[in-house]
Chain A
Amino acid sequence: MSEHLPETNYLDPEVLQKLSDLELVAREVVEGLRVGSHRSPLRGFSTEFAHHRQYSPGDAIRDLDWRVYGRTDRYYTKLYEAETNFDCTILIDASASMNYASGKVSKLEYAKFLAASLAYVVLKQRDSVGLSVFDSEVRAYLPPRSAMGVILQIDQLLREVKSVPRTTIAKQLHDIALMMKRRSFVILISDLFSDVDDIRAGLDHLRHDGHNVVVLHTLDPYELEFPFKGTWQFDGLEGEEPLTTQPERIREDYLASFGKYMEELKAGCVASHVDYTTVDTSRPLDAVLSEFFHERQSTLNGASAARS
Chain B
Amino acid sequence: MSFLNPLLLIAGLGIGLPILAHLLSRYKVKRTDWAAMQFLNRSVRVRSRQIRLRDILLLCLRCLAILLLALALAKPFMKDAESVPAGIGERRVGVVIALDASFSMEHSDGTSTRFERGIEKIDMIAEGLHPGDPVSLVLLGAEHRVVARNMAFEPARFDELLRSQQATPEPLDLDTVPLTLEALVEAMDAPQKEVYLVTDMQARDWKDRPAWLGEAFEDLGERAPTTIIPVGGGADNLAITNLELVSGVLRKDTIARYRATVRNYGTSPVANVRVKGLVNEITVDTKTIPAIAPGASKTVSLFIHFRNAGPVRISAELESDSLPVDNARRTVAVIRDEVSVLSVEGSPGGGGDFLAAALRARGSDAGQENFAVRSVSWIDLPSQDLARFDVVVLQNVPDITPEQARVFEAYVRAGNGLIWFAGDKVDAAAWNERSALDGIPLLPAAIEQPVSTSDALGVGRPLDPTMPDHSVCRPLRSLPEDLLSETRFRKVLQVKPTATSSTVLSLAGTSAPVLLEHSVGRGQVFMFTTSADSAWNNMAVTPVFPMVLQQMVTYLTAREFERPRQVGDSLSLSYVDQPDASEAVFDAPSKEIIAVPVREHRNQYVALLEHAREAGFYLARVSLQAPGVPIAVNVDPAESEVACLSAAETMRSFEETGIAVAQSEADLLDAVNESRTGRSLWLSFLLAGLGLLVIESLLANLMHKRPGVRAKQSSPTMAQTGTT
> Which residues of A approach B to under 8 Å, CB–CB?
96-100, 107, 191, 193, 220, 223-225, 228, 230-238, 240, 243-246, 249-263, 266, 269-270, 274-280, 288, 291-292, 295-296, 299
Question: Quick check: B716 and A250 within 8 Å, CB to CB?
Answer: no
A-B contact list, 30 entries, CB within 8 Å: A96-B35, A97-B35, A193-B35, A193-B36, A224-B717, A230-B25, A230-B30, A231-B29, A234-B34, A235-B33, A237-B34, A237-B35, A240-B37, A243-B44, A243-B45, A244-B29, A245-B44, A249-B51, A251-B711, A253-B47, A255-B716, A256-B714, A258-B716, A259-B715, A266-B722, A266-B724, A269-B724, A276-B724, A291-B721, A295-B723
Q: Given the known A-B contacts A250-B51, A252-B711, are A234 and B37 also in contact in the complex, defined by CB atoms under 8 Å?
A: yes
Q: Is B26 positioned at the interface, with any CB of A under 8 Å from its CB? A: yes
In the A-B complex, the 7 residue pairs with the smallest Cβ-Cβ separation, listed nearest first, are A252-B707, A97-B35, A259-B714, A100-B35, A252-B711, A236-B37, A240-B37
Question: Quick check: A277 and B716 within 8 Å, CB to CB?
Answer: no
CA distance A228 to B29 in the complex (A): 12
Question: Quick check: A280 and B45 within 8 Å, CB to CB?
Answer: no
Q: Given the known A-B contacts A269-B724, A275-B724, are A260 and B714 also in contact in the complex, defined by CB atoms under 8 Å?
A: yes
Q: In the assembled complex, how far is the CB of residue A56 from the closest CB belonging to chain B, in whole angstroms? A: 29
Question: Quick check: A253 and B715 within 8 Å, CB to CB?
Answer: no
CA distance A231 to B28 in the complex (A): 7
Question: Quick check: A233 and B31 within 8 Å, CB to CB?
Answer: yes
Q: Chain B contacts of A107 at CB under 8 A?
A: 35
Q: Chain A contacts of B35 at CB under 8 A?
A: 96-100, 107, 191, 193, 220, 223, 236-238
From DSSP, what is the main secondary structure of chain A's interface residues?
helix
Question: Quick check: B708 and A252 within 8 Å, CB to CB?
Answer: yes
Q: In the assembled complex, how far is the CB of residue A259 from the closest CB belonging to chain B, in whole angstroms? A: 4
Q: Chain A contacts of B39 at CB under 8 A?
A: 254, 257-258, 261
Q: Is B32 positioned at the interface, with any CB of A under 8 Å from its CB? A: yes
CA distance A250 to B46 in the complex (A): 10
Question: Quick check: B30 and A232 within 8 Å, CB to CB?
Answer: yes
Q: Is B625 positioned at the interface, with any CB of A under 8 Å from its CB? A: no
CA distance A270 to B47 in the complex (A): 33
Q: Chain B contacts of A224 at CB under 8 A?
A: 716-717, 720
- Residue among A107, A224, A288 facing the most chain B CB atoms (10 A cut-off): A224
Q: In the assembled complex, how far is the CB of residue A43 from the closest CB belonging to chain B, in whole angstroms? A: 16
Q: Is B41 positioned at the interface, with any CB of A under 8 Å from its CB? A: yes
CA distance A249 to B706 in the complex (A): 11
Question: Quick check: B48 and A250 within 8 Å, CB to CB?
Answer: yes
Considering only CB atoms, which chain A residue lies closest to B27 in the complex?
A: A231
Q: Is B38 positioned at the interface, with any CB of A under 8 Å from its CB? A: yes
Q: Chain B contacts of A232 at CB under 8 A?
A: 29-32
B1-52 interface with A by 8 A CB criterion: 25-26, 28-41, 43-45, 47-48, 51
| Chain B 506-529: CB-based contact to A (< 8 A → 1; otherwise 0) | 000000000000000000000000
Candidates A234, A235, A257, A278; contact of B43 at CB < 8 Å: A257
Q: In the assembled complex, how far is the CB of residue A224 from the closest CB belonging to chain B, in whole angstroms? A: 6
| Chain B 689-715: CB-based contact to A (< 8 A → 1; otherwise 0) | 000000000000000100110110011
Considering only CB atoms, which chain B residue lies closest to A95 in the complex?
A: B35
Question: Quick check: A275 and B711 within 8 Å, CB to CB?
Answer: no
CA distance A233 to B704 in the complex (A): 20
Question: Quick check: A276 and B30 within 8 Å, CB to CB?
Answer: no
Q: Is B457 positioned at the interface, with any CB of A under 8 Å from its CB? A: no
Considering only CB atoms, which chain A residue lies closest to B31 in the complex?
A: A233
Q: In the assembled complex, how far is the CB of residue A265 from the closest CB belonging to chain B, in whole angstroms? A: 9
CA distance A98 to B36 in the complex (A): 10
Known: A236-B33, A256-B711, A259-B714. 8 other contacts (CB 8 A): A220-B35, A231-B29, A237-B33, A237-B35, A237-B37, A243-B44, A253-B44, A276-B722
Candidates B26, B36, B724; contact of A258 at CB < 8 Å: B36
Q: Is B156 positioned at the interface, with any CB of A under 8 Å from its CB? A: no
Q: Is B719 positioned at the interface, with any CB of A under 8 Å from its CB? A: yes
Candidates B32, B37, B44, B715; contact of A250 at CB < 8 Å: B44
Q: Chain B contacts of A225 at CB under 8 A?
A: 717
B196-223 interface with A by 8 A CB criterion: none
> Which residues of B approach A to under 8 Å, CB–CB?
25-26, 28-41, 43-45, 47-48, 51, 704, 707-708, 710-711, 714-717, 719-724
Q: In the assembled complex, how far is the CB of residue A229 from the closest CB belonging to chain B, in whole angstroms? A: 9
Q: Chain A contacts of B40 at CB under 8 A?
A: 234, 243, 245, 250, 254
Question: Quick check: B724 and A223 within 8 Å, CB to CB?
Answer: no
Q: Chain B contacts of A291 at CB under 8 A?
A: 721
- Residue among B32, B36, B717, B722 facing the most chain A CB atoms (10 A cut-off): B36
Candidates B33, B45, B48, B721; contact of A278 at CB < 8 Å: B721
Considering only CB atoms, which chain B residue lies closest to A260 in the complex?
A: B714
Considering only CB atoms, which chain B residue lies closest to A277 in the complex?
A: B723
- Residue among B29, B40, B722 facing the most chain A CB atoms (10 A cut-off): B40
CA distance A96 to B33 in the complex (A): 11
Q: Chain A contacts of B717 at CB under 8 A?
A: 224-225, 255
Question: Quick check: B714 and A255 within 8 Å, CB to CB?
Answer: yes
Question: Quick check: A262 and B719 within 8 Å, CB to CB?
Answer: yes
Considering only CB atoms, which chain B residue lies closest to A272 in the complex?
A: B724
Question: Quick check: A238 and B37 within 8 Å, CB to CB?
Answer: yes
Q: Chain B contacts of A261 at CB under 8 A?
A: 38-39
Q: In the assembled complex, how far is the CB of residue A240 from the closest CB belonging to chain B, in whole angstroms? A: 4
Question: Quick check: A266 and B711 within 8 Å, CB to CB?
Answer: no
Question: Quick check: A257 and B44 within 8 Å, CB to CB?
Answer: yes
Q: Chain B contacts of A263 at CB under 8 A?
A: 714
Q: In the assembled complex, how far is the CB of residue A136 from the closest CB belonging to chain B, in whole angstroms? A: 15
CA distance A228 to B715 in the complex (A): 16
Q: In the assembled complex, how far is the CB of residue B41 from the closest CB belonging to chain A, in whole angstroms? A: 6
Question: Quick check: A259 and B34 within 8 Å, CB to CB?
Answer: no
Question: Quick check: B36 and A252 within 8 Å, CB to CB?
Answer: no
Q: Given the known A-B contacts A231-B25, A231-B28, A233-B31, are A253 and B43 also in contact in the complex, defined by CB atoms under 8 Å?
A: yes
Considering only CB atoms, which chain A residue lies closest to B718 in the complex?
A: A259
Q: Chain A contacts of B30 at CB under 8 A?
A: 230-233
CA distance A296 to B40 in the complex (A): 34
CA distance A299 to B722 in the complex (A): 12
CA distance A107 to B708 in the complex (A): 28
Question: Quick check: A252 and B710 within 8 Å, CB to CB?
Answer: yes
Considering only CB atoms, which chain A residue lies closest to B43 in the complex?
A: A253
Q: In the assembled complex, how far is the CB of residue A290 from the closest CB belonging to chain B, in whole angstroms? A: 11
Q: Chain B contacts of A270 at CB under 8 A?
A: 724
Question: Quick check: B721 and A255 within 8 Å, CB to CB?
Answer: no
CA distance A22 to B44 in the complex (A): 40
CA distance A158 to B227 in the complex (A): 99
Q: Chain A contacts of B723 at CB under 8 A?
A: 275-277, 292, 295-296, 299
Q: Chain A contacts of B26 at CB under 8 A?
A: 231
Q: In the assembled complex, how far is the CB of residue A231 from the closest CB belonging to chain B, in whole angstroms? A: 5
CA distance A276 to B43 in the complex (A): 28
Question: Quick check: A278 and B722 within 8 Å, CB to CB?
Answer: yes
Q: In the assembled complex, how far is the CB of residue B90 from the closest CB belonging to chain A, in whole angstroms? A: 41
Q: Given the known A-B contacts A249-B704, A250-B47, are A100 and B37 also in contact in the complex, defined by CB atoms under 8 Å?
A: no
Candidates A97, A193, A277; contact of B721 at CB < 8 Å: A277
Q: In the assembled complex, how far is the CB of residue B718 from the closest CB belonging to chain A, in whole angstroms? A: 8
CA distance A253 to B711 in the complex (A): 7
Q: Chain A contacts of B720 at CB under 8 A?
A: 224, 278, 280
Q: Chain A contacts of B719 at CB under 8 A?
A: 262, 266, 278
Considering only CB atoms, which chain A residue lies closest to B707 in the complex?
A: A252
CA distance A198 to B481 in the complex (A): 148
Q: Chain B contacts of A231 at CB under 8 A?
A: 25-26, 28-30
Q: In the assembled complex, how far is the CB of residue B709 from the closest CB belonging to chain A, in whole angstroms? A: 9
Q: In the assembled complex, how far is the CB of residue B674 from the closest CB belonging to chain A, in whole angstroms? A: 57
Q: In the assembled complex, how far is the CB of residue A194 from the closest CB belonging to chain B, in whole angstroms? A: 8
Q: In the assembled complex, how far is the CB of residue B46 from the closest CB belonging to chain A, in whole angstroms? A: 9
Considering only CB atoms, which chain A residue lies closest to B705 in the complex?
A: A252
Q: In the assembled complex, how far is the CB of residue A101 from the closest CB belonging to chain B, in whole angstroms? A: 9
Q: In the assembled complex, how far is the CB of residue B526 from the closest CB belonging to chain A, in whole angstroms? A: 102
Considering only CB atoms, which chain A residue lies closest to B38 in the complex?
A: A193
Question: Quick check: A230 and B28 within 8 Å, CB to CB?
Answer: yes
Q: Chain A contacts of B29 at CB under 8 A?
A: 231-233, 244
CA distance A251 to B720 in the complex (A): 17
CA distance A269 to B708 in the complex (A): 28
Q: Chain B contacts of A279 at CB under 8 A?
A: 721
